Amino acid sequence: MAKLLAERLGFLLLTVWIVTTVTFLLFRLMPGDPTLAYLSPTFNEETRQTLLVSFGLDKPLWQQYLIYMANLLRGDLGTSFLQRAPVVQILGDALPNTIILTLVSLSCAYAFGIVAGAFLAFHRGGALEGAAIPAALATRSAPEFWLGMLLLAGLAFQLGWFPTGGAVDPGSSLATFRQRIGSADFWHHLVLPALTLTLYLQGLPLLLMRATMLEVMGDEFIVMARMKGLSRWSIVMRHAARNALLPVVTAFALGLGASVGGNVVVETVFAWPGVGRVLVQAVQGADYPVAQGAFILISVVLATMNTVADLAYAWLDPRVSVGARR
């Protein structure tokens, strides 16, 4: 297990290094330079050069790379070209909002998906299954922005039950994340983006759980449980569901990683101040340091969650680590 751990951590570091290097090159090799974002008739070449120097873009690419890697190791992601604030601070402000949105929607989606998947597997072939599976597939396939706009139109514009965007009311005095998370205002604003993501995400655990349950339900130990006269509830929840959960747990870990960067659309539709929105704004405004920082953060979280899923799988199912040693 220790060897596997070292091996996976090694892969993780390699992945992060490749991602950071590709991210660096990606932004530098794009046509145009960021001073173009500030074009004004009062600018002349001298002004442009001053801006390039202040951004550190006047240096050769390799020097920029060394400075970038050295800063990265110190946890310094640079300063935003547009907001002129440290990138760490910008991402640090956004990350908790993304985490809370991700955790709430993933938890709701997986809780619902697991229960509904188990239920549908147990009642296979019924009318309910006939309606539920297409519905789950439809919400899974529907674009997030479309789902979000539908919910906005119905629950915010028409009924006025929820706000149209943001994390708190305009001019709110709730300054810190801790103050916000303890307020009803914050949770009220969270409902629509979280509901959109939940609807979008629930299809996978539901279908996965149902498929695995169907497989498990045919196993001999379930037949044995039936022969022992155990109740249906006990067979489903204590025996079948527990054994069917393994791939769903793995999917949850991967989903957690992917959602940190995958909430871009929902965060934009609902003006939710998370990492995804920061990334969109940075790319639109050619704000290299922020875009780089956001990409790196998302990649690190995703790679880390992949590693965690790998290790968890190996821990839960020893055959995986045995396979790795072969």
Partner 1 sequence: MKRLLVAAAAAVVAGTIPAPSQAQPAGDPIRPIVLLTQPQAALPQEYQAAELIAAAWKQLGLQVQIRPLPSQQFSQIVWYERQRWDASTWQMVGRPERSDPDELTYNLFLSANIANGYNFVGYKNPEYDKLANAQRQELDLNKRKALIIQLQEMINKDQPYGFMVHPKNVVAFNRAVWDEKSVIDQAGIGARNTWTWLNITPLTAQKDIILNSVSVPTNLNPFNISGAQGSWAAEIVWDRLMRIGPDGLAKPWAASEVTRPDPLTVDVKLRAGMKWSDGQPVTIEDAVFSLVAPGISDKSPMYKPFVANIANVQATGADTLRITLKKPDAAFLVSSLSKLNLAPKHVWEPIFESLKGKPETAESIMEAKPVSSGPFRLTKAKLSEEIVLEANPDHWAKPKAARWIMRIQPNTEAALGALRSGEINFLSDYNGDPQLLRDLAKSDPNIKMAEALDMGFKFIAYNNRRQPFDVAAFRVALSASIDRELLAEDAWGGAAVPSNSWVSPALAFWHDQGIENRVPGGSVEAAKKILKDAGYVLVNGRLHYPAGVKETTPAFQ
Nearer to partner 1, 125 or 160 (CB): 160
Nearer to partner 1, 151 or 209 (CB): 151
Q: Does position 60 bind partner 1 by CB under 8 A?
A: no
User: What is the footprint of partner 1 within residues 183-242 (CB under 8 A)?
Assistant: none
Q: Does position 298 bind partner 1 by CB under 8 A?
A: no
Q: Does position 85 bind partner 1 by CB under 8 A?
A: yes
Only segment of 18-26, 90-98, 116-124, 249-257 that touches partner 1 (CB under 8 A):
90-98
Only segment of 52-60, 107-115, 214-222, 228-236 that touches partner 1 (CB under 8 A):
52-60
Q: What is the 3-state secondary structure (H, E, C) of the chain?
A: CHHHHHHHHHHHHHHHHHHHHHHHHHHHCCCCCHHHHHCCCCCCHHHHHHHHHHHCCCCCHHHHHHHHHHHHHCCCCCECCCCCCEHHHHHHHHHHHHHHHHHHHHHHHHHHHHHHHHHHHHCCCCHHHHHHHHHHHHHHHCCHHHHHHHHHHHHHHHCCCCCCCCCCCCCCCCCCHHHHHCCHHHHHHHHHHHHHHHHHHCHHHHHHHHHHHHHHHCCHHHHHHHHCCCCHHHHHHHHHHHHHHHHHHHHHHHHHHHHHHHCHHHHHHCCCCCHHHHHHHHHHCCCHHHHHHHHHHHHHHHHHHHHHHHHHHHHHCHHHHHHHHC
Select from 232, 222, 209 the least CA-distant residue to 115: 209
Site mask for partner 1 (CB under 8 A), range 263-282, x = bound? -----xxxx-x---xx-xx-
Nearer to partner 1, 129 or 169 (CB): 169
Nearer to partner 1, 292 or 306 (CB): 292
Question: Among 72, 77, 90, 100, which residue sits at the site for partner 1 (rule: CB under 8 A)?
Answer: 90
Question: Among 286, 297, 302, 309, which residue sits at the site for partner 1 (rule: CB under 8 A)?
Answer: 286
Shortest distance (Å) from residue 247 CB to partner 1: 36
User: What is the footprint of partner 1 within residues 10-49 (CB under 8 A)?
Assistant: 30-33, 36-45, 47
Question: Among 29, 160, 220, 228, which residue sits at the site for partner 1 (rule: CB under 8 A)?
Answer: 160
Q: Which positions lie near partner 1, rule CB under 8 A?
A: 30-33, 36-45, 47, 50-51, 53-54, 56, 79, 82-85, 90, 93-94, 149, 152-153, 156-157, 160, 163-167, 170-171, 175, 268-271, 273, 277-278, 280-281, 284-286
